[in-house]
């Protein structure tokens, strides 16, 4: 919340690592809404919102986020992004196609092809598979501890 409330008129790159709720991470989409709204970040060109356990929700909000218009690159890698989030990003192609790079690496996307053309370069390497715990599929951010 402190990061989201800060005003950095000259900051060009911002990367926030969230983490896993099981290990104390508690950030939500609402917490970073000021960043998505572009509050106090007029020079920002690279935004990394990585290692989050709410990446599908984030992907659904990105297309309408005012900050996206000024970015050259966006990184939502290492989180729990699934095909649901990838489809949301693909649906936001008109808002994202100016990006030089979109990073969705180390996620849980089965059909990375839906992201073709969303940005000039889409990094989608090292896709992971959910863990199966007694028939329940679980997804985790890449870095938990």
Per-residue pLDDT, 145: 64
* C-alpha–C-alpha distance, residues 68 and 136, integer Å: 35
Rounded average pLDDT over 51-71: 97
Answer for the pair 130, 107: CB distance below 8 angstroms, yes or no.
no
Per-residue pLDDT, 25: 80
Q: Who wins on pLDDT, 39 or 48?
A: 48
pLDDT in tens, 74-100: 999 999 999 999 999 999 999 999 999
H helix intervals, 21-125: 29-36, 55-62, 83-91, 93-96
Of the candidate ranges 15-29, 38-52, 99-113, 118-132, the one whose mean pLDDT is the lowest = 15-29
DSSP state of 107: S
């Amino acid at each position: 919340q402190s990061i989201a409330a800060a005003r950095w008129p000259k900051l060009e790159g911002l990367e926030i690592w969230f983490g896993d709720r099981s290990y104390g991470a508690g950030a939500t989409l609402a917490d970073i809404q000021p960043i998505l709204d572009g509050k106090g970040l007029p020079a920002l060109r690279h935004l990394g919102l990585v290692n989050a356990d709410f990446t599908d929700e984030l992907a659904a909000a990105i297309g309408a986020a005012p900050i996206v218009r000024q970015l050259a690159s966006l990184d939502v890698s290492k989180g729990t992004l699934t095909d649901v989030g990838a489809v949301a990003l693909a649906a936001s192609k008109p808002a994202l196609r100016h990006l030089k790079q979109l990073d969705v690496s180390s996620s849980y996307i089965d059909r990375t092809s839906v992201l073709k053309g969303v940005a000039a370069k889409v990094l989608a390497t090292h896709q992971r598979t959910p863990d199966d715990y007694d028939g329940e599929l679980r997804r985790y951010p890449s870095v938990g501890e």
